[in-house]
Amino acid sequence: MNLNDFEKTTHSGLYISKDSHPKFGQKYIARFQHDKKRYVKVLGYTKRDNLSIKTAIELMQSFKDSVIPKVEEKITKQEDKLSTKDNETLIKLKEENDFLKSILGDYKNLNPQVLSEGIQKIYDLEALKKYQIELIKLQNWLEKENKRMIILFEGRDASGKGGAIRRITRYMNNKHYRVVALGKPTETQRNQWFLQRYIEHFPTGGEIVLFDRSWYNRAMVEPIFGFCTPEEHEIFMEDIVNFEQDLVRQGMILIKLYFSVSKEEQKRRFDRRIQDPLRQWKFSEVDMQAQDLWDEFSEKKYEMLRRTTSRSAPWHIVRSDNKHLARLEAMKIILNSVDYDGRNYSLDFDENEEINISVQRELLQMRKTKDY
């Protein structure tokens, strides 16, 4: 359809068709825009004369009124044809949309990157829940069998230890677990056997104790900052393996987790702590020196892993640049340490070899680079 198919009328911009409409059997008028390509068809006009602006408007409105109800009727019929499955899908999408709004507010106006990260966190939390259910089963089994469990969380500052502990214990019965994060020793404790202040917090039957940093402070932090003498450090390194073997022989379930963060990721997390008022409390004087003393910590880490891993109490290295995967892997390590009742074998308990690293592989990597 083009301008050649129409004749001019007495009113600017309005044209009448030379031939009747092939479907409706009537001539019709059209309003061409300035580019003479866009037009609005109006049916019901048969004579060239007696055409006024008012008549044209009425004809246009009449045409719209005749078409729109038919379109609406067509849509209604299509909706009626929707299957039950389609309706369920629409309902589910609406529920998901309402759920996102309840969490994220007017999420359509959010920065896409922020929105993506927020949604990913929701999925991550959901992915952990299946394993958190298993941790409750494990806890119930320990209580039933009167077993004791110690989990050590070690790693550099900002390696993700605290976040992992919170996810692991989130749904546990708080009557049967404790999180222990000891501060600086008192003057009395300094004059005691070094391990005594840790032993005071050991679990009783049916209990789990999670140490957020442990006696391995003496292997890394204390010698670097001069909180112990070289002799005290060496005595610890020589004796600790036998101490842990005795614990295991006496029925203690001992799990040692080392969260291994890269230098680049640690710096990124420190920067975030400094800039975020809600996280600034996490940033300490020790943190300020962590990057500068990276190589010193690497040397002590290498020595600790090499000398203190054993068959009865091996280290489990968890690469923690990706917090979610590190938390998931830590849960799997804990769950795989015990053959508890009611395990859901449909879940994936296999280790992620990119996250759960053997001590030998970590030491080999550290010999190649000091980034870990």
Band of the pLDDT at 140, cuts 50, 70, 90?
A: very high
Residue 43 neighbours by CB distance under 10 Å:
19
Q: Is the confidence at residue 126, as pLDDT, over 70?
A: yes
**DSSP string covering 218-268, please?**
GTTHHHHHTSS-HHHHHHHHHHHHHHHHHHHHTTEEEEEEEEE--HHHHHH
* pLDDT the model gives residue 36: 44
The mean pLDDT value for 19-24 works out to 66
- Per-residue confidence band for 68, with pLDDT thresholds at 50, 70 and 90: very low
pLDDT, position 359 = 96
- Does the pLDDT value for residue 20 go beyond 80? no
Please report, rounded to a whole number, the percentage of residues in the chain having pLDDT higher than 70.
Answer: 75
Give residue 124's pLDDT: 87
Res 159: pLDDT: 96
Q: Which CATH number describes the domain made up of 130-368?
A: 3.40.50.300
Q: Which residues lie closer than 8 Å to 4 by C-beta, 6 or more apart?
A: none
For the cut 80, the answer to whether the pLDDT of residue 59 exceeds it is no
Which residues lie across from 179 on neighbouring strands? 210
φ/ψ of 164, rounded to 5, equals -65, -40
Q: Could you tell me if residue 71 is left (phi over 0), alpha (psi between -120 and 50 degrees) or otherwise beta?
A: alpha
Is 322 in contact with 356 (CB distance < 8 Å)?
no
Token pair recorded at residue 256: 């040692």
Give the other-Cβ count within 10 Å of 280's Cβ.
Answer: 11
- pLDDT at position 42: 46
Alpha helices by DSSP H, listed for the chain, are 53-80, 84-104, 112-145, 161-169, 187-190, 196-199, 221-225, 230-249, 263-275, 285-290, 294-308, 323-336, 359-368
Confidence of residue 266 (pLDDT cuts 50, 70, 90): very high
The rounded distance, in Å, linking the Cα atoms of 135 and 176 is: 12
Asked if pLDDT for residue 168 goes beyond 90, the answer is yes
Among 81-85, 128-132, 210-214, 224-228, name the one with the lowest average pLDDT. 81-85
State which of 11-25, 34-48, 76-90 shows the largest mean pLDDT: 11-25
Cα separation, 202 vs 197, whole angstroms: 10
Q: Tell me the pLDDT tens digit for each residue of 106-125.
A: 656 767 776 677 777 878 88
Beta bridge partners of 28: 43
Helices 161-169 + 323-336 axis angle, to 10: 60
Least confident of 45-59, 109-123, 267-281, 318-332: 45-59
User: Is 70 exceeded by the pLDDT of residue 231?
Assistant: yes
Q: Average pLDDT in the 124-150 region?
A: 96
| Phi, psi angles (nearest 5°) of residue 324 | -60, -50
**Percentage of the chain exceeding pLDDT 90:** 59
Beta bridge partners of 148: 252
Please tell me the least confidently modeled range out of 20-34, 114-128, 218-232, 289-303: 20-34
pLDDT, tens digit (0-9, with 9 covering 90-100), for 273-299: 888 888 877 877 777 889 999 999 999
- Contact assessment for residue 149 and residue 180, using Cβ atoms and an 8 Å cutoff: no
pLDDT at position 84 over 80: no
Question: How much is the mean pLDDT over the chain?
Answer: 84
Kindly report whether the global pTM for this prediction surpasses the value 0.85. no
Return the minimum-mean-pLDDT range out of 78-82, 203-207, 249-253, 318-322.
78-82
Question: How many angstroms separate the CA atoms of 63 and 58, rounded?
Answer: 9
Domain boundaries, the chain: 3-80, 130-368
Mean pLDDT, range 300-313, rounded to an integer: 97
N- to C-terminal Cα distance for the chain?
71
